[in-house]
Chains A and B, each alone.
Chain A
Amino acid sequence: MSKMSKVYGEAKDSYTAKLRTKSMILTAWFIILTVICLLPLYMLIINATRNTSQISNGISILPGSDLGNNLSTVFKGEMKLYYDAVSGYKNSLIITVCSTILTVFFSAMTAYGIQVYDFKLKEVSYTVVLLVMMVPMQVTSAGFVSFMNKLGLLNSYIPLIVPAVAAPAVVYFMRSYMKSSFPLEIVEAARIDGCTELRTFVSIAIPMMKPAIAVQAIFAFIASWNNFYTPSMILVDGKTSKKTLPMMVQALQSSDTLNDYGAVYMAIALSIIPIVIAYVCLSRFIIAGVALGGVKE
């Protein structure tokens, strides 16, 4: 008996030891990856607080003392000609907030229409939604630009906001959510109580779909905020006051015009920081949302 337990004990010990070494090696590897993930951002923040000569002399782990100088260069200096942070934030915010609201509201509405009502084209319309999901923006862009040009909508925000109404991937997500957690009996009950169809949707369905709406709103917001392709295709007159934030970052690209490296780093940091802060606050929802997107297959 005692021999047996000894053998088992040894096997168990070696198994635990093996697991422990594996865990340790993996933890070290994860820490290395974390450093790789954060290093570029860390360098960005550090260099945003240093001046040009410090930056060209070498790298540093500690922040410098020129944070205020760099900030005032970005907000007051001649950099405003290419990079106007205030109007960049304003423009990006207008476009992003409007298109996010349109995306979640109309996607919920479309999903609701397909899920709740029985009509002839129900399945056909849903198939169309699924097919559309796969057509990339870059394919339609040439036709999009020439069509907008004909309508005289270039340089306006309409082509950047209104298309957000048709977001097939969001409709798909909302419908799968409704399938699992929206009982149709509630609609019937509302009808019996004399509620109109639109009101049923607005005051019963939308509150019940809040979790799905929140997740999709976060993703729509990030996607629209980060969008560089569509705005630079539509806003072509080169007016800085109209540009979105990512478009202004483009102006920082050629370093010949901008020799103040500290200010350039500062400007890049200003374009990144709001979204990073939002991410840190909402990271749990975001990661859960990505995981949900993965299981939809």
Chain B
Amino acid sequence: MASAAQRRIKSISYAKYGYIFILPFFLVYFFFQLWPLINTFIVSFQGNAGSSDFVGMDNYNAILFGGSRATNAIHNRFTSSLANTFILWIGNFIPQIALSLSLAVWFTEANLKIPGKEFFKIVMYLPNIITAASVAVLFLQLCGQSETNPGALNMLLSKIGIVHRDAVSGKYDSIPFIQGVWQSRGVVMFIQTWMWFGNTMIMLMSGIQGINPSLFEAASIDGATAGQVFRKITLPLLTPIMSYTLVTSMIGGLQMFDIPFLYNKDGKPGESVQTIAVMIFEYFHSVGKEQKMGYAGAASVLLFFITLALGILSLYISRDKDEIAKKKQRKKVEKQLKQESKQFGGFSI
């Protein structure tokens, strides 16, 4: 009998290789991501300016409520950064999703004859792969605004006739694209939209292509207009991918850093475009007495919870209502069936 050999073969377990294969990932993850995350929580309860004394909820109190003069400054900075983050995110998400969704629908419409679709796709995705830091500095150059050298954008506007040049002094009444509050925000929103609409468009396109084409065929046979097809078929079936886009864009928007941080002239981010990520970075990045590691930690923790809450909220809003209703209906029917079968003395029919 080969039972001994069989038993031995059966006892060979490959489980340990599984652990060996995933070990590096989790080791590195623990040291460079999980522990820093925990450490952020720890740091948020510690003092600032290089001290590591336990200060309890002081940092959170300062950020959320202010109080004394020093903490009021931090509180104001936090609220204005949070407001800026949301303004900048909304101002880039709405045009971005409108543009990408319309483009995705037009690109996937089979009966439209548009030459060079591939080329357009490639060009529209191009801004996304360019270094964000370079993009910010490039736009800084293009939007520059000294009176004698107003930058390429103002120059373009002066050719159209919006910006004028004084004939005597040769100075321009240029638009303050960098110092102005809403002008600078507008530029940052434009850059974000410019960089991301191609990416969103391609994702939505692959979502639309995943929809069963016979639905579109049936709709066109029934004489549905393009608008009806969009509202009744494309949009409802695109909900999962739209909610995914919304969540990722929101998380990305809360992290917005490169462009707001670099889009300014004097090395200090302008107040009108300062985001939460910029604030955190400046707080832990400064040295000596200026260093505010505790505040940076507390702001990070708050950012973490805001991200989490928004993620859960948007998943809740965009959940499939039909599916839930159907489930309820099914349960109801099952219950009824059970009760009916009880009426027959418990015999299942």
A142: min CB distance to chain B, Å: 4
Q: Which of B139, B255, B262 contacts A250 (CB 8 A)?
A: B262
Q: Name the segment of B35-43, B86-94, B336-344 touching the other chain.
A: B35-43
B34: min CB distance to chain A, Å: 8
Q: Does B122 have its Cβ within 8 Å of any Cβ on chain A?
A: yes
Nearest B residue to A26, CB-CB: B106
Q: Does B216 have its Cβ within 8 Å of any Cβ on chain A?
A: no
Q: Does B15 have its Cβ within 8 Å of any Cβ on chain A?
A: yes
CB <8 Å contact, A119 and B18: yes
Provide the bound-state CA to CA distance between A125 and B241, in Å.
25
Interface size on B, as a range, is 35 or more
Nearest A residue to B119, CB-CB: A34
Residues in B whose Cβ lies below 8 Å from that of A236: 285
Q: Which of B22, B121, B241 contacts A110 (CB 8 A)?
A: B22
CB <8 Å contact, B139 and A40: yes
Interface size on A, as a range, is 35 or more
**From residue 12 to 54 of chain B, which have CB atoms closer than 8 A to chain A?**
14-22, 24-26, 28-29, 32-33, 35-44
Given A37-B127, A222-B129, A113–B20 Cβ distance below 8 Å?
A: yes
Nearest B residue to A150, CB-CB: B39
1/0 per residue, CB under 8 A from B, across A246-265: the answer is 11011011111000010011
CB <8 Å contact, A142 and B38: no
A198: min CB distance to chain B, Å: 8
Q: Does A127 have its Cβ within 8 Å of any Cβ on chain B?
A: no
Q: Name the segment of A2-10, A69-77, A207-215, A285-293 touching the other chain.
A: A285-293
Chain B residues at the A interface, C-beta cutoff of 8 Å: 14-22, 24-26, 28-29, 32-33, 35-44, 103, 106, 111-115, 120-127, 129-142, 144, 148-149, 152, 155-156, 159, 194, 198-199, 202-207, 210, 240-241, 244, 251, 254-255, 257-258, 262, 264-267, 276-277, 280-281, 283-285, 293, 296-297, 300-301, 303-304, 307, 311
| 25 residue pairs from A and B, CB less than 8 Å apart | A23-B112, A33-B120, A41-B126, A59-B152, A107-B25, A114-B18, A117-B14, A117-B18, A132-B29, A136-B251, A136-B254, A137-B255, A138-B255, A138-B276, A142-B296, A144-B32, A163-B28, A201-B21, A228-B132, A287-B122, A291-B202, A291-B205, A293-B203, A294-B203, A297-B207
Chain A residues at the B interface, C-beta cutoff of 8 Å: 19-20, 22-23, 26-27, 30, 33-34, 36-38, 40-41, 43-44, 47, 55-56, 58-59, 106-107, 109-110, 112-114, 116-122, 125, 128-129, 132, 134-147, 159, 162-163, 165-166, 168, 171, 197, 201, 222, 225-226, 228-229, 232-233, 236, 245-247, 249-250, 252-256, 261, 264-265, 268, 271-272, 275-276, 279, 283, 286-287, 290-295, 297
